Amino acid sequence: MTLFLGRTLSQGKAAGHAALFGAMSGLVIHTLLVAFGISALLAASQAGFTALKIMGAGYLLWLAIGAIRGGSSLTLNKQKTKPASFLNNWLAGISVNLLNPKIVLFFITFLPQFVAADDPAAIGKLLFLGFYFIVIGFIICMGIVAIASRFATTLTNNPRLTRFLDYSFAAIFGAFAIRILMAQRL
């Protein structure tokens, strides 16, 4: 959520939507992996889970450093600068999502509790639950992007608030990176 909020504030609504679509694409992949049992294999593998944790934490730290390096990442300059492409913002969204072991753990612990393991329709039910989660999340997050887009004018007129948000996003990404590194397998 922090990623697409930051993209909306720094690059506009289209960039926020692209990062959000990337994150939602990652949730589709997580849903498919859970429904077909692949996430459980990853979580059960010490090497796979550790590699995912390190890659996810590294990516979040890279985003945290980017939020404070070389001036504000949220600076809303009066002069027009070319925002990152839809693809680059989408890739950022899907990368944050796919490299987050907390999401893997959430999906393999949350969704299966609503489906009996011996249910012949388990795959269909897991797919339904995953996509239901995605639709609800998408609606909420689209509202957040819309609100953030309106908030951009306030940031343009208040550079101190903008810088405060930069450091806040950096702290949040850094804290998430630490939590990811400390995540335990089930």
What are the pLDDT digits (tens) for 141-153? 999 899 888 877 7
Residue 168 contacts by C-beta under 8 Å, 6 or more apart in sequence? none
Q: pLDDT band at residue 185, thresholds of 50, 70 and 90? A: low
- Report the pLDDT value the prediction gives residue 30, as an integer from 0 to 100: 92
- Report the pLDDT value the prediction gives residue 172, as an integer from 0 to 100: 85
Q: pLDDT band at residue 43, thresholds of 50, 70 and 90? A: low
Rounded mean pLDDT of the chain? Answer: 82
pTM for the full predicted model: 0.71
Query: For tokens 């489906």, what's the residue?
Result: 115
Element (H, E) at 54: helix 46-68
Query: For tokens 């070389």, what's the residue?
Result: 70
130 within 8 A of 27, measured Cβ to Cβ:
yes
